[in-house]
Structure 1
Amino acid sequence: MTQACPTRQASPPGSTDAASAAAGTAPPLRMRHAIAIIVGVAIGAGIFKAPSLVAANVPSAGWLFALWIAGGFFTVVGALCYAELSSSYPSRGGEYHFLSRAFGRSVALLYAWARFSVITTGSVALLGFVFGDYLSQLLPLGRYGSAFYAALAVVVLTAINIRGIRQGAATQSWLTLVEVGGLVLIVAAAAWFWWTGGSAAPYAAPAPGTPSATLSLSALGLAMVFVLLTFGGWNDAAYISADLKHRRTIVWALLLSVGLITVLYLVVNWAYWSTLGLDGMARSQTVAADVLTVAFGPAAGKLVAAMVAVAALTSINATLIVGARTASALGQDWPQLRFLAAWDAHRGVPPNSFVAQCVLALVLIGLGTAFGSGFKAMVEYTAPVFWLFFLLTGLALFRLRRIGAGHPRPFRVPLYPVVPALFCMSCGYMLWSSLSYVQSQQLGGFNAAWVGVAVLVTGLLLLQAVRRSERAAGTRLAGRA
């Protein structure tokens, strides 16, 4: 049963005031750091793969660009909801903190467990496989080279972030700069190709399908799954809201980041389409490499491999930063998990949380390697659980408006309740889609999507164990009295 939020959470662990008091210093991040983290998480390897899958399910270029614009629109809708939550309830715990206030500690515990065991560590593992796959094209190490590079990336980035929040944020800023530069290079290649009078190349190896001859709702729905998955990650801004000096900074950081991401995605898709054509996009297995190959020749493929590797590193680093904060907030609220709450005030990081998520991510990399499904299995492993709690976070906004009517809100979602209702409906659709459309990958003989759900269910066992421990502690105290 979900408990009501305790009154002690009027100044909860992980809030701006509590965190600043614990650290004894002002929040260390500025808007540029927040934007770098948000953009770095969202712009990952997806933009180098998803456009081909979207193109294969639309009947025309008009629909192609319309879906990417729709993806930006729904992301802005979500960003507005998160802007209100993050500015009103700033916390290093992010969604964990919102769910705790809205639905009680039990739901928050389940989310934190899901974030730790499925969402964050699964995302780190799948991005590690992307990094390993592409780096192996540049520096091959044999059969297990990809797994080795994946594990190495996780360990090195964890070590950098344990050194301090500024080191992690600075690393993120440089990686994001290189990543965005890679996307600009793709656009420049397309512009050069167009300027020199090239024509769309009906080229590349056959892919799983070509653009739909007629408009199909199911095909458009599937295309939208890939679009929104490519936009995913912007919500991690919630985890750094307590590290920003002014509450409204998170609002502008979210909106500017989402605007930048949407423009970049539209321009990059134009680059793909203007160089390869819609059919060429749909047939391409490596659309970014094909664009540079058409414009500059086969040697450009090596450059694309390096770009995708950097994109994966960027997302891994940002995911590690925000994931450790959820685990730390979990440890603050649950004495049985207090080791996760350890906070290094001088460095501004939770070192134990970083180490714990690093270890679990390495376990998942090992499992993905053993079962041979790697990246795709990790995608299915994380997606349903991710969208379930995204939906609950949207619903938390409605509940917090009702039970916290007098709470200060530096920013309010415009057109309430229409905007948050649209967000919740899109999350519900993505949850259904992640269990309906994506079902080809197996993890040890089981569908990977349902394996992730099963791991979430184990959180119920954790909840029961924690509850029993609390009751036993209460009984011992009563006996002593």
Structure 2
Amino acid sequence: MTATDAALTGGAPDVHRRTVLTGTATAIAVADMIGIGVFTSLGFQLMSLPSGFAVLMLWIVGGAAALCGALSYAELATAFPRSGGEYNFLSRIYHPMLGFMAGWVSATVGFAAPVALAAMAFGEYFAGAVPEAPPLVCGLAVAWAVTLVQLSGSQPSVIFQNAATAIKVALILVFIIAGFSVGEPQPISFLPKEGDLGYLMSAPFAVSLVFVMYSYSGWNAATYIAGDVHDPARTLPRAMFWATLVVIALYVLLNAVFLYTTPMSAMAGQLNVAQVAGEHIFGATGGRIVAGLICVGLVSAISAMMWIGPRVTVAMGEDFALLRPFARYTRSGVPATAILLQISVVTLLLLTQSFEAVLDFIQFSLTLCSFLAVAGVIVLRVTQPHLSRPYKVWAFPLTPVVFLAVTGFMMAYLLFEKPWQSLASLALMASGLALFALSKRDEART
């Protein structure tokens, strides 16, 4: 079977063994979801939603939407069990041109920019825990250290990812338990009070939901490595379901402990709400404790994105001669060239400090790609009713429709609030279409 034949049948060539089990696939998704967002967004939510009930409902509603997306992707991933995420799905559902467009966004900056942001955040928080540490050097060091682990082989990567994620979840649980145990309770209720239901129908609630959904981004992480997963028909749905449930529970409990231990007035409008809460719970050393907690969390997030991002490039390289060098695996089952490409882009973004601008303009395209993928679940039920589906999404069509409604609102918000960045995002997608056309023309000549 050639690489092209494999693409048309929905599977990749057996260039390496399927070694990722349910635990590791779950760990990758959990690690990818829990980044910096949950530790920073509460302060801005409290400025317009001064209600414990409304804030927790925000994270529950956002989590439910993420779960709807995860279950929808699970149907696609088990029907087309190949690495690549949206590149794989959109190619099969609509046209290889759309798949290439989505893959181009992911392979260039879709993962590199979030990795750079996480690495820079690691440097800043590490400097908070260890004064005088240079943030940029620390950011570069952690990004390259994680990359070296990825390059060392599939088994060390599995061990490192599982351990880093387990430590992160354990530390968050310790923080939550300590907060409820020793923190000074605030006069706040998590049950609905008069006027609270009105917040759920307000514009600030809808706007805050956009940023909550970004904090949940990563629920689809396991689909990017579907080609690495053992028994994907069973593993992928379980991993995506449990990963999303774990993160929903952690996010709701984290925000509850922030509100339980710290006055709203002290957190409203603050970016570093976790640090503020840590100081209220643990005293003067609380800030350093929280900084260390966030650093550990960012290491596992960087590791997850450095693992899954290159697999998109690999899938594209298997299908297109222009990108063929990036499809090569080492004897230890590592796509070294693709990994080195991503860390090179990460390094460039860190050195130029341009990753925040890149993140701003790729948000629309990433959201649009996930929207098209979930819409594809409905499209395939109509166009290919007899397609083999080892897993079918629950409560169809309600589940994908819920996700489409939320992401549709997000795209409308981005177009209204950030029109130029959204247009630039569309321009990046257009450049992918142009490269697709160029690649096809070159193939036709050979």
TM-score by shorter chain over 0.5: yes
Matches within 5 A, 1:430-449: 430-437=410-417
Distance 1:413 1:76 in 2: 11
Confirm whether residue 308 of structure 1 aligns to residue 312 of structure 2. Answer: no
Confirm whether residue 299 of structure 1 aligns to residue 285 of structure 2. Answer: yes
Counterpart residue identity of residue 463, structure 1 = F
CA contact (8 A) 1:117 1:455 kept: no
Confirm whether residue 176 of structure 1 aligns to residue 179 of structure 2. Answer: no
Counterpart residue identity of residue 303, structure 2 = N
**Structure 1 equivalent of residue 191 of structure 2:** none
Counterpart of 1:164 (choices 153, 157, 181) is 153
Counterpart of 1:362 (choices 347, 350, 357) is 347
Distance 1:128 1:453 in 2: 26
Percent sequence identity is 25
Distance 2:415 2:162 in 1: 35
**Structure 2 equivalent of residue 234 of structure 1:** 219
Distance 1:117 1:456 in 2: 11
Distance 1:36 1:362 in 2: 25
Confirm whether residue 458 of structure 1 aligns to residue 438 of structure 2. Answer: no
Counterpart residue identity of residue 233, structure 1 = G
CA contact (8 A) 2:93 2:380 kept: yes
Counterpart residue identity of residue 74, structure 1 = A
Matches within 5 A, 1:106-255: 106-140=97-131, 145-194=134-183, 198-200=184-186, 215=199, 217-246=202-231, 247-255=233-241
Counterpart of 2:440 (choices 447, 467, 473) is 467
**CA distance 1:365–1:456, shift in 2 (3 Å):** farther
Distance 1:177 1:156 in 2: 19
Distance 1:308 1:434 in 2: 28
**CA distance 1:163–1:255, shift in 2 (3 Å):** same
CA contact (8 A) 1:94 1:326 kept: yes
Confirm whether residue 267 of structure 1 aligns to residue 253 of structure 2. Answer: yes
CA contact (8 A) 1:123 1:382 kept: no
**Structure 1 equivalent of residue 192 of structure 2:** none
Matches within 5 A, 1:78-89: 78-89=69-80
Distance 1:351 1:255 in 2: 30
Q: Which runs of 5+ in 2 are unaligned?
A: 189-195
Confirm whether residue 36 of structure 1 aligns to residue 34 of structure 2. Answer: no
Counterpart residue identity of residue 455, structure 1 = L
Distance 1:236 1:60 in 2: 32
Distance 1:377 1:433 in 2: 18
Distance 1:449 1:152 in 2: 32
**CA distance 1:400–1:109, shift in 2 (3 Å):** same
**Structure 2 equivalent of residue 340 of structure 1:** 326
Q: Deviations over 1:387-413 (max 9, x none)?
A: 011111112222333333222211111
**CA distance 1:449–1:136, shift in 2 (3 Å):** farther
Distance 2:257 2:315 in 1: 42
CA contact (8 A) 2:109 2:358 kept: no
Counterpart residue identity of residue 125, structure 1 = A
Secondary structure at 1:29 match in 2: coil
Question: 1:61 offset after TM fit, Å?
Answer: 1.4
**Structure 2 equivalent of residue 54 of structure 1:** 45
Equivalent pairs, count: 435
Q: Deviations over 1:415-454 (max 9, x none)?
A: 2222212222222222222343468xxxxxxx65554443
Quick check: which has more Rg, 1 or 2?
1
Distance 1:133 1:159 in 2: 22
**Structure 2 equivalent of residue 421 of structure 1:** 401
Secondary structure at 2:177 match in 1: helix
Q: Deviations over 1:210-250 (max 9, x none)?
A: xx9x8473211221012111111010110233333321221
Question: 1:378 offset after TM fit, Å?
Answer: 4.4
CA RMSD of aligned residues (A): 2.5
Distance 1:283 1:465 in 2: 48
Distance 1:127 1:218 in 2: 30
Question: 1:377 offset after TM fit, Å?
Answer: 3.1
**Structure 2 equivalent of residue 205 of structure 1:** none
Q: Which runs of 5+ in 1 are unaligned?
A: 1-5, 203-211, 440-446, 474-481
Question: 1:327 offset after TM fit, Å?
Answer: 0.3
Counterpart residue identity of residue 161, structure 2 = Q
Matches within 5 A, 1:399-414: 399-414=379-394
**Structure 2 equivalent of residue 325 of structure 1:** 311
Secondary structure at 1:264 match in 2: helix
Distance 1:391 1:438 in 2: 18
Counterpart residue identity of residue 270, structure 1 = A
Distance 2:228 2:382 in 1: 27
CA contact (8 A) 2:44 2:271 kept: no
Normalising by structure 2, what TM-score? Answer: 0.90
CA contact (8 A) 1:71 1:228 kept: yes
Question: 1:312 offset after TM fit, Å?
Answer: 1.5
Distance 2:342 2:271 in 1: 32
Secondary structure at 1:288 match in 2: helix
Distance 2:185 2:322 in 1: 64
Q: Which moved more, 1:32-41 or 1:418-427?
A: 418-427
Distance 2:350 2:427 in 1: 18
**CA distance 1:378–1:434, shift in 2 (3 Å):** same
Q: Deviations over 1:53-87 (max 9, x none)?
A: 22223142111111111011111111110111111
CA contact (8 A) 1:118 1:452 kept: no
CA contact (8 A) 2:182 2:281 kept: yes
Question: 1:141 offset after TM fit, Å?
Answer: 5.3
Normalising by structure 1, what TM-score? Answer: 0.84
Distance 2:287 2:5 in 1: 58
CA contact (8 A) 1:122 1:382 kept: no
CA contact (8 A) 1:60 1:278 kept: no
